[in-house]
Structure 1
Amino acid sequence: MSDSDEMDGINIVPLVDVMLVLLTIVLTTATFVVNGRIPVDLAKSSTATSAQPAPLVLTATAQQVLYLNDQPVTNLASALAAYPHSTPVVVRADGQMVLAAFVELVDKVKALGFAQVSLEVKRV
């Protein structure tokens, strides 16, 4: 082909192939994004146990009143003593709570031996 020859058309077959592959990838990953997990119909068992202990929910109000699993708590150490230290603890703190009070609460929970301490927040 010389420089003076003009192209009569463009071959769009490779472009269509690439676009179909991209569409397949997007549709496949969209399922995971919406569900957050791979959909699987699990087998049933009458003797199965939970793989992870249910997390303890520690709620702190703006007035610094503590609740453990929605039950009022006066002594945090004695309330948490009944649970194994491997149990995850989720802290739900009021948005108006002072940061220093929140950090002190988390430090108390960690000092009691609970390593898995996380914060629950609301997505906006």
Structure 2
Amino acid sequence: MLKIQHSQGLNIVPFIDVILVLLAMVLSISTFIAHGEIKIELPKSDSSTKSSQDSNKLKIIINNENIFYIEDKEATLEEIAEKINALDRQTIVELKSDKNAKFDSFIRIIDILRNKNHENFQIITERNP
């Protein structure tokens, strides 16, 4: 009787699964790293104000989706109010708002500043070309 041996081929399906999982992890980590900076498009004005180099300042940012940030970390209005209430009156509050953000979001920050009687703030814009 003649025995026929079937050669066992290399099963690469588990290898492909592992590679796809690694690829998904690399892509998700790389997009997280790429979003390290908050992208906003500042409104343009003839009398633009640039960001000050003063280290004694609080940066508040509103992006185009009306999400608030304090010092590049996402924050709620309550957290912003607490932070402003804890500020010294001499500390500069630097306000950057995306040109496509709702005006209502901008006004909410201004109201928090007014309630505290904090008048030492800057509205950052870009210069018209």
Instruction: Between the two structures, name the one with larger relative contact order (CA 8 Å, sep ≥ 6).
Output: 2
Alignment of 1:95-114 (within 5 A): 95-114=99-118
State the alpha-carbon separation in 2 of the partners of residues 89 and 112 from structure 1: 12
Identity %: 16
Structure of greater Rg: 1
**1:56 alignment partner, SS class:** strand
How far off its partner does 1:113 sit? 3.0
Q: Residues 81 and 107 from structure 1, CA distance in 2 versus in 1: closer, same or farther, beyond 3 angstroms?
A: closer
How far off its partner does 1:94 sit? 0.6
5+ long unaligned stretches in structure 1: 1-51
Which whole-Å deviations, capped at 9, do the CAs of 1:50-107 have from their partners, x for residues lacking one? Answer: xx66221110112221111112222212222332122111100010012233123212
**2:126 alignment partner, SS class:** coil
Contact 1:85 1:114 in 2 (8 A): yes
Contact 1:62 1:94 in 2 (8 A): yes
Q: Which runs of 4+ in 1 moved over 3 A?
A: none
State the alpha-carbon separation in 1 of the partners of residues 89 and 55 from structure 2: 11
| Alignment correspondent of 1:89 | 93
Residue 54 of structure 1: which of 45, 53, 56 is its match?
56
Contact 2:62 2:105 in 1 (8 A): no
Contact 2:66 2:102 in 1 (8 A): no
Matched residue count? 73
